[in-house]
Amino acid sequence: MKKFYFASLLLTGISLYAQTEQDSTTTINEVIISENRFSTPISKQNRNVYIIDKAVIEKLPARTINEVLQYANGVDVRQRGPFGSQADISIDGGSFEQTVVLLNGAKIIDSQTAHNMLNLPLPVEVIERIEIIRGPAARIYGINSLTGAINIITKKPTDSGFLVSTYAGSNFEKDTQDTGDTFYGRGIQAGGVIAKGKHQHSIFASHDKSNGYRYNTGFENNKLFYQGNIQINDRNEILSSFGYINNGFGANGFYASPGDRNSSEVVQTTFASVQSKHNVSEKWSLAPRVSYRYNYDDYRYFGIANLNSGRSQHYTNSIAAEINTTYKMNKGELGFGAEARNEDINSSSIGEHNRSNIGMYVEYRTQFSDKFNVNIGSYLNYNSDYKWQVYPGLDASYAVNDAFKIIANIGTSQRIPSFTDLYLDQRPGNIGNPDLKSENAFQSEAGFKYTKKAFSFNANYFYRTITNFIDWTRAVTTEPWQSQNFGNLNTNGVNMRSAYGFEFSNQAKLNISLAYTYLESEFKDIQLDVDSKYLISSLRNQVTNTVDFQYNKFSVLFATRYNERATGASYWINDFRISQKINKFTIFADAQNIFNTTYFEAGAIPLPARWFSVGAKFVSF
């Protein structure tokens, strides 16, 4: 099977390249990657970076960030609930706690548990692009970027106007275990933009509701998001954002199957940030940032029928301040940064805890020649529980010619255990371990990028070691799950991506993307004969493919995902969207899992069978 995927991807790349040589003059659009200190065109990046841009997001059969990311190469989205209810996310075989998520560069860290990290109040309509940075990235983004980072960049509006959209869908099956009603989902969203001179303001609100796709999987999700951009003058700019989400859902089988058949959960998240950019001089720039995240998690094991027993309530606060600066020298650029973070929790099953973190960055990049580029740096971190640690990294690239570029990098990073890892006490189900050590990663990677006209092809190989890997284990089924430093995890990985765009005419366009990831992981120095709660479901083989055709204002996209997990379980999922624009009005129809595949991403939770949706959207900006 592995050889088949390698061969098919390479053959596709060769054939598409031959086609571009013959008849295509389209060029790949350049994207500027927004690192905290350096801004780098994607063509000059020394790292393995994958971009999902707004044009792709608009065409995908997806209405939430969770659903968009499931089409990303190397990203493993393990959903418990559909359509954005809850999902864990990891990159290249890591655990769901080892990836850091950022919003416009501001870290979103859930100190309670990363189960809630994707509980974001962000409509996909405001996303400019999603940057997926693979590999340890402490020297760029700091703590918890153990296997990579996902940076969500929002749009900067240019025109005033408003948006109204609605959708409805169903699998046309009935809830035979409860109400007898047909399963459905529906939603509505409204928003507006004011863009006047040197200030722009956007506000969006949405409501989504469903009675689920099987017993006790219904949800109700309400979101509010605001963003403000102010250009004080040509050298100074301020960006502010605020979001709130109230997400309630049935949690049948989410954490303690089969006993939690009637469980439910409510997660409320508030996020706010203010950041600014200042070009002090032609050589010196400054960028301070302040962010705050509040999360309330209310888990009811027996559901709403009994709120006096089996209930866990968690209140967490995280406040962070950061400042980054860049100075251009005659032979390169020098970047400095410092951050401070304080996290606290008040929980019925975890207790009251507080910790602080201080980090300092230093980076230097230079061009030794027109072809050879080097970026070196380090992150120095102090945590009140884990004291001083340092994480260096090095990136380099060599451009053989305008089309072919060789890249290599070495990186290190850490992941500090969450409050759940350390202090949870939900006997007899799960108990934490206050003696946990922090996880540390070392990774080396080499690969190449090839871009010629409308065709691009990337291939990379990496080797990563994670020491003190944390997992939840137990020796016998009668014992509770407990967090442990399970051992050292060594992972080899190969990932390849190809993309091709062809214009038949000014009105007819075809885009094809095909990607493959293979991972091989092995534990060293572990305790034998214990069950692992999360690792056994990590990916081994992954294929993602999208084909979209657009004629004038009509478009159709077909998306395929193949996942094979370490346990041997594998599945193909096929989705499509058809849409038609009429001036500022768009109508669309989605079909997800069109071949009705039975599959699982987290534990023994079956995900939705075939699901159909129709919707309409009006956008005047």
- Note the pLDDT tens digit of each residue in 409-457: 999 999 999 999 999 998 888 899 999 999 999 999 999 999 998 999 9
Q: Would you report the helix, strand and coil content of the chain in percent, each value rounded to 5? A: 10, 60, 30
Of the candidates 332, 397, 381, the residue with the CA atom closest to the CA atom of residue 49: 397
Q: 389 pLDDT exceeds 90?
A: yes
Q: Residue 254's pLDDT is what?
A: 87
pLDDT at 12: 46
The candidate with the shortest Cα–Cα distance to 91, out of 110, 106, 70, 117, is 70
Residue recorded with tokens 């089996």 = 310
Lowest mean pLDDT among 43-47, 67-71, 607-611: 43-47
Q: For the segment 331-357, what is each residue's pLDDT rounded down to a tens digit?
A: 899 999 999 999 999 999 999 999 999
Average pLDDT score over residue span 296-321 = 92
pLDDT of residue 274: 97
Give the per-residue pLDDT at 115: 87
Single-letter residue type at 164: V
Q: Are strands 99-103 and 372-383 parallel, antiparallel or unpaired?
A: unpaired
**Domain spanning 2-619: CATH superfamily:** TonB-dependent receptor, beta-barrel domain (2.40.170.20)
Strand partners, 393: 377, 411
Mean pLDDT computed over 471-498: 91
Confidence of residue 486 (pLDDT cuts 50, 70, 90): confident
CB 24 within 8 A of CB 502: yes
Q: Give the chain's mean pLDDT.
A: 90
User: In degrees, to the nearest 5, what angle opens at C-alpha 235 toward C-alphas 234 and 237?
Assistant: 90
What's residue 534's pLDDT? 66
pLDDT of residue 527: 67
What confidence tens digit (pLDDT) does each residue in 91-145 have? Answer: 999 888 999 999 999 999 999 998 899 999 888 989 999 999 999 989 999 989 9
pLDDT for residue 429: 82
Is 4's pLDDT higher than 50?
Answer: no
Three-state secondary structure of 153-184: EECCCCCCEEEEEEEEEEEEEECCCCCCCEEE
Distance CA 237, CA 411 (A): 32
Q: Residue 253 and residue 273: Cα distance in Å, rounded? A: 35
Amino acid at 441: A
Query: pTM, whole model, 2 decimals?
Result: 0.91
- Residue with more model confidence, 600 or 32: 600
pLDDT grade, residue 306 (50/70/90)? Answer: confident
Mean pLDDT of the region 67-84? 86
Q: Residue 16 pLDDT > 90, yes or no?
A: no
> What does the pLDDT read at residue 159?
92
| pLDDT value at residue 309 | 86
Distance from C-alpha of 88 to C-alpha of 85, rounded to nearest angstrom: 11
How confident is the model at residue 583, as a pLDDT? 93
Residue 301: pLDDT over 70: yes
pLDDT at position 14 over 70? no
User: What's the pLDDT score for residue 31?
Assistant: 76
Among residues 293, 302, 299, which one has the least CA distance to residue 314? Answer: 299
491-510 pLDDT per residue, tens:
999 999 999 999 999 999 99
Is the pLDDT at 26 greater than 70, yes or no? no
| Mean pLDDT confidence for 236-254 | 95
Q: pLDDT-derived band of residue 5, with 50, 70 and 90 as boundaries?
A: very low
Q: Are 365 and 332 in contact (CB under 8 A)?
A: yes
The string of DSSP codes covering 82-136 is TTTTEEEEEETT--TTSEEEEETTEEE--SS-GGGTT-----GGGEEEEEEEES-
